[in-house]
Amino acid sequence: MSSYVPVLTFHKIDETPSVTSFPPALFESFMEKLIRNGYRTVGLTDAVENLYRGAPLPEKTFVLTFDDGYRSVFSDAFPVMKRHGMSATVFLTVGDPAKPRPGGRMPPLNGSEMLSWAEVTEMREAGIRFGAHTLTHPDLTRLGTEKIEYEIVKSKEIIEGVLGEPVRSFAYPYGRYDERSMGIAERFFDCACSDELGLLTLESKRYALGRVDACYLKNERLTGLMLSGLFPYYVRLRNVPRKILRRLSRR
């Protein structure tokens, strides 16, 4: 039994040099390597429920998440996940309902094409889950409380309206949260993800879950680390400079 579960975060699956991009060929070889070595995915909310119930998960379990809802999740990650029967949670930034868009595609983020509702529905039918990630991807710590609640709750309602089932997880845009947004997340979801770098353990904060951003695993050697007992140490090691940087930037 495992005392920790890595929750991996991807954004775009494409070749651009951006920190939020992960190369399609590396994504495919990474997933194949995990499956070949006996790893399997578990749903985010299932992993969280299990841990808090005190039921540890089997060894070699991991969670896949994708933030924002880029179209490349459908075109480049979904075929790989489908082939291996993997589960994942995609956090959708659904757009302002006051500005509906033709074609049912979510409004572009940083100039990238996003998922359409038809693609979301097709992925849901194949077992992929969807979480909320607000309407317009604001830094929630900079908004008034009423606006925070609208961004969070309305985005949840829109996804539920399309999929016809409860949306149980949330991810804070940029991973940024404060007591107000966390309080709202607690009222409306089973768990919420932050940008903290860390593994899912019993010590995790249920409404500010840590994850491992794939930008820390962007070559074959680094993806191979996940198969080794060194992985928790690598995650801890990568966390040190981040924490120091954040402390400095708060001054």
Is the CB of 57 or the CB of 95 nearer to Zn ion?
95
**Segment interacting with Zn ion, rule: CB under 5 A, options 66-74, 144-152, 182-190, 210-218:** 66-74
Number of shown-chain residues binding Zn ion (CB under 5 A): 3
**Segment interacting with Zn ion, rule: CB under 5 A, options 167-175, 187-195, 200-208, 225-233:** 167-175
Rounded Cα–Cα distance for residues 1 and 3 (Å): 7
Is the CB of 78 or the CB of 172 nearer to Zn ion?
172
Tracing tokens 């990568």 back to the chain, one arrives at: 238
Residue of the chain from 14, 68, 119, 213 that contacts Zn ion (CB under 5 A): 68
Interaction between residue 213 and Zn ion (CB under 5 A) = no
Rounded Cα–Cα distance for residues 231 and 228 (Å): 6
Quickly list DSSP for 180-216.
HHHHHHHHH-SEEEEEEE--B-TTS-TTSEEEEEGGG
Interaction between residue 67 and Zn ion (CB under 5 A) = yes
Q: How far is the CB of 209 from Zn ion (least distance, A)?
A: 15
Q: How far is the CB of 97 from Zn ion (least distance, A)?
A: 19
Tracing tokens 């107000």 back to the chain, one arrives at: 180
DSSP 8-state assignment for residue 238: H
Is the CB of 67 or the CB of 76 nearer to Zn ion?
67
- Token code pair at residue 71: 């179209």
Rounded Cα–Cα distance for residues 55 and 144 (Å): 39
Is the CB of 43 or the CB of 175 nearer to Zn ion?
175
Residue among 9, 7, 6 at smallest CA distance from 21: 9
Is the CB of 68 or the CB of 151 nearer to Zn ion?
68
Q: How far is the CB of 89 from Zn ion (least distance, A)?
A: 13
**Segment interacting with Zn ion, rule: CB under 5 A, options 110-118, 172-180, 203-211, 225-233:** 172-180
Interaction between residue 14 and Zn ion (CB under 5 A) = no
Residue type, position 218, single letter: K
- Residue pair 210/194 in contact (Cβ under 8 Å)? The answer is yes
Binding site for Zn ion (CB under 5 A): 67-68, 173
